[in-house]
């Protein structure tokens, strides 16, 4: 790996006698890892657990595996997993993931929330938000919306609203050098300072959204002082209601430069890539500000069709606000303000689509529900799963009355499908199909 001379000089100065071990670690292979999803009803045992984490494991998971496709696992390297773990929202909290794509932090936050409270997962890039929506849908959470907005625009809707804001900020990407060689090629001596300016702008626009008594988690995948400790000190100077919270040092984390409460992850100490994390707490007494919530916009026919489907196929009611967007029906988390002025990439949980005098359940609904939530389900084996994921129909043995069933593989949902004469019609989304 050919590192820029100014980068080498900088980290010789910061790390001193540890510098050579640090540079050597950048020549080693990146560390792969994944998290399991506690929202899924059917869990599996995985070896090589990451110490001191509730769901982390070292190793690789195939994107074509049943575990990945049903959302039981999410690939995320170990250092990146520490951001969600430090944030660790309590159930019922209102949480904002401010720069969310591709979804690692959001899905981790959703694991802690356990289908309670609310997560607003924001990604300003429309292109990147597509992968974010896909990953959140696969995870199966019911308490999340995905926005596609600027921070300034969000702040107009969510003033003093969030109990927790997580910003994994755009950065110079030094911590990704061995994982993404292009990060080295685009790095230059003034890049960290350029990103520091952007980071301050984002934080300045985001702070009005933090609730009194709320928490802020700031992180980067870089090691530069300008983007890390200097930003943390700037926050403390700019906002006198903020205090810094100690981040527990686990698995080889080290304290920040001059700010021991913060955490740094270097690959010669921590088994993973590079990361910096700082956590802050607002000291003002918690206040509840009134929220003007949206209202359901279903007409009588739509409501009757949904209620008919739910009564026949679901064993429990789904809590939330029913809204249609075109012919699509969504379930939004309760307690949201009016979102009509925002660009929305995913309006809560997609329940399905209204078609001529009927309701057709969505793939997302079948991913989000457990087998014990539905009246009818069909368990398929791995070979049938591979065939179905490739776009084929499945022939069932036995006697299955015609109708909608939740498909399951290894106990977890793979969407809804219609069974006709013991044949499972294919409802696996065309854009997700693959040959295993």
Residue 403 in marked binding region: no
CA distances from 214 to 208, 285, 308 (A): 11, 9, 41
Check if the beta carbon of residue 353 is closer than 8 Å to that of residue 429: no
Residue 102 in marked binding region: yes
The Cα–Cα gap between 211 and 209 comes to 6
Residue 103 in marked binding region: yes
* 310, 320, 411, 104 alpha-carbon torsion, rounded to 10°: 150
Residue 302 in marked binding region: no
- CA neighbours within 13 Å on the CB side: how many for 357? 0
Catalytic residue, from 93, 118, 120, 221: name it.
221
First to last CA, the chain: 34
- Count the neighbouring beta carbons within 10 Å of the beta carbon of residue 316: 11
Supply φ then ψ for residue 27, to 5 degrees: -90, -10
Is 408 one of the catalytic residues?
no
The 3-state DSSP class for residue 205 equals helix
Residue 99 in marked binding region: yes
Residue 30 in marked binding region: no
The Cα–Cα gap between 146 and 343 comes to 9
Helix H segments across 258-398? 300-313, 363-368, 382-389
The 3-state DSSP class for residue 49 equals strand
Residue 168 in marked binding region: yes
Check if the beta carbon of residue 424 is closer than 8 Å to that of residue 396: yes
Annotated binding site for S-adenosyl-L-methionine: 99-105, 123, 168
Annotated binding site: 99-105, 123, 168
Residues classed as catalytic = 221
């Amino acid at each position: 790996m050919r590192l820029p001379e100014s980068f080498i000089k900088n980290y010789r100065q910061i790390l001193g006698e540890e510098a050579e071990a640090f540079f050597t670690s950048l020549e080693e292979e990146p560390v792969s890892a994944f998290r399991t999803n506690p929202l899924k009803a059917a869990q599996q045992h995985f070896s090589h657990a990451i110490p001191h984490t509730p769901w982390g494991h070292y190793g690789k998971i195939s994107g074509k595996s049943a575990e990945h496709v049903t959302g039981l696992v999410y690939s995320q390297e170990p250092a990146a997993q520490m951001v969600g773990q430090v944030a660790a929202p309590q159930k019922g909290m209102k949480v904002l993931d401010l720069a969310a794509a591709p979804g690692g932090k959001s899905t981790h936050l959703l694991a802690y929330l356990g289908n309670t409270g609310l997560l607003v997962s924001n990604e300003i890039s429309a292109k990147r938000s597509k992968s974010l929506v896909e990953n959140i849908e696969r995870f199966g959470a019911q308490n999340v919306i995905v926005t596609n907005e600027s921070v300034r625009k969000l702040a107009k809707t969510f003033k003093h609203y969030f109990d927790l804001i997580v910003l994994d900020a755009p950065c110079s990407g030094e911590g990704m050098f061995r994982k993404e060689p292009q990060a080295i090629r685009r790095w230059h001596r003034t890049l960290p300072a350029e990103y520091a300016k952007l980071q301050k702008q984002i934080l300045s626009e985001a702070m009005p959204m933090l609730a009194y008594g709320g928490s802020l988690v700031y992180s980067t995948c870089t090691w530069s002082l300008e983007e890390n400790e200097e930003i943390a000190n700037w926050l403390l100077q700019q906002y006198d209601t903020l205090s810094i919270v100690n981040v527990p040092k686990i698995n080889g984390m080290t304290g920040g430069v001059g700010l021991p409460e913060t955490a740094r992850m270097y690959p010669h100490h921590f088994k993973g890539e590079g990361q910096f994390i700082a956590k802050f707490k607002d000291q003002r007494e918690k206040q509840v500000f009134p929220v003007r919530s949206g209202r359901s916009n279903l007409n009588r026919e739509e409501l009757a069709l949904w209620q008919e489907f739910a009564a026949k196929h679901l064993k429990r009611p789904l809590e939330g606000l029913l809204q249609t967007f075109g012919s699509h029906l969504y379930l939004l988390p309760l307690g949201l303000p009016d979102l009509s002025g925002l660009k929305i990439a995913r309006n809560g949980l997609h329940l399905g689509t209204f078609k001529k005098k009927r309701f057709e359940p969505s793939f997302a609904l079948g991913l989000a529900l457990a087998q014990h939530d539905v009246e009818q389900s069909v368990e398929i084996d791995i070979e049938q799963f591979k065939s179905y994921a490739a776009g084929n129909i499945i022939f069932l043995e036995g006697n299955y009355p015609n109708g909608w069933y939740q498909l399951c593989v290894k106990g977890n949902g793979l969407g809804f499908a219609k069974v006709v004469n013991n044949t499972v019609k294919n409802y696996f989304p065309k854009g997700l199909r693959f040959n295993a």
